[in-house]
């Protein structure tokens, strides 16, 4: 009986040693694969950095930000504040328009950029009711509610241009007020 017990223990010990050896071998293989993946990732990141710094591969002009197939220009720190119409003209000359906000993700993107510039109380966007009082339309001609459910605060007869403020709020303002703006164009 003692002999059988010793054989069983020896077999189990041998199996445990073999399993341990297999685990060590597999662990080494996995570590090597992980190191190879990390090296490849590093190489790809270097290539991407090189390509994105090459002006021939830029999706957007200098001073513009790329986000979701569009280029955005934020005047803060790059241009003096302008009236809404002057801002719209700048955008047109840059083959773009004042930003038309089409969904909540884009709204959050714009808000994120605004948070980087604490001194920016608002941004002119491409929204106006200048053609017909109370009928807010985006620069592309669509109704205010076309893209997402939003409202314009402080609407009044003499406030025909809209600006974007913190919290994703759109406010009616005098088109003659000076402020920063955001342009948007396809990349």
Domain of 178, CATH number, reads 3.10.100.10
Q: Which of 40-49, 51-60, 93-102, 170-179 has the lowest mean pLDDT?
A: 40-49
Q: Over 60: is that where the pLDDT of 51 sits?
A: no
93 and 41, same structural domain?
no
Domain boundary among 20, 40, 57: 57
Sign of the C-alpha dihedral computed for residues 51, 57, 60 and 61 taken in this order: positive
> Locate tokens 């021939």: which residue?
56
Local structure of 71: helix, strand or coil: strand
Q: Over 80: is that where the pLDDT of 103 sits?
A: yes
pLDDT (tens digit per residue) in 142-176: 999 999 999 999 999 999 999 999 889 999 999 99
The more confident residue out of 172 and 41 is 172
153 and 172, same structural domain?
yes
10 and 87, same structural domain?
no
71 and 19, same structural domain?
no
Quote the pLDDT of residue 2.
64
Quote the pLDDT of residue 73.
98
Quote the pLDDT of residue 26.
81
103 and 23, same structural domain?
no
107 and 22, same structural domain?
no
70 and 30, same structural domain?
no
| The 97-98 sheet, strands edge to edge | 64-67, 70-74, 182-186, 97-98
22 and 72, same structural domain?
no
Number of other residues whose CB lies within 10 A of the CB of residue 13: 10
144 and 52, same structural domain?
no
Closest C-alpha among 59, 67, 155 to residue 107: 67
State the total domains in the chain: 2
The domain in which residue 37 lies consists of: 2-57
74 and 53, same structural domain?
no
80 and 45, same structural domain?
no
The HSE-up count of residue 108 (CA atoms within 13 Å, CB side) is 4
Domain boundary among 10, 34, 57: 57
Q: Over 90: is that where the pLDDT of 25 sits?
A: no
Domain boundary among 33, 57, 81: 57
Is the pTM higher than 0.75? The answer reads no
Q: Over 90: is that where the pLDDT of 9 sits?
A: no
164 and 132, same structural domain?
yes
Query: Are the CB atoms for 113 and 154 separated by under 8 Å?
Result: no
């Amino acid at each position: 009986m003692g002999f059988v017990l010793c054989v069983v223990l020896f077999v189990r010990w041998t199996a445990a040693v073999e399993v341990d050896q297999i685990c060590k071998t597999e662990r080494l293989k996995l570590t090597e694969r992980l190191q190879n993946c990390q090296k490849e990732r590093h190489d790809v990141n270097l290539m991407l950095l090189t390509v994105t710094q090459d002006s021939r591969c830029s999706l957007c002009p200098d001073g513009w930000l790329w986000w979701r197939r569009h280029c955005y220009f934020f005047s803060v720190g790059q241009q003096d504040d302008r009236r809404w119409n002057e801002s719209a003209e700048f955008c047109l000359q840059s083959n773009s328009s004042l930003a038309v906000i089409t969904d909540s993700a884009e709204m959050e993107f714009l808000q994120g950029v605004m948070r980087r510039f604490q001194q920016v109380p608002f941004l002119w966007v491409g929204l106006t009711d200048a053609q017909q009082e109370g009928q807010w339309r985006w620069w592309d001609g669509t109704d205010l509610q076309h893209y997402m459910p939003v409202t314009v605060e402080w609407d009044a007869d003499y406030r025909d241009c809209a600006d974007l403020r913190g919290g994703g709020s759109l406010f009616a303002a005098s088109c003659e007020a000076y402020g920063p703006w955001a342009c948007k164009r396809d990349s």
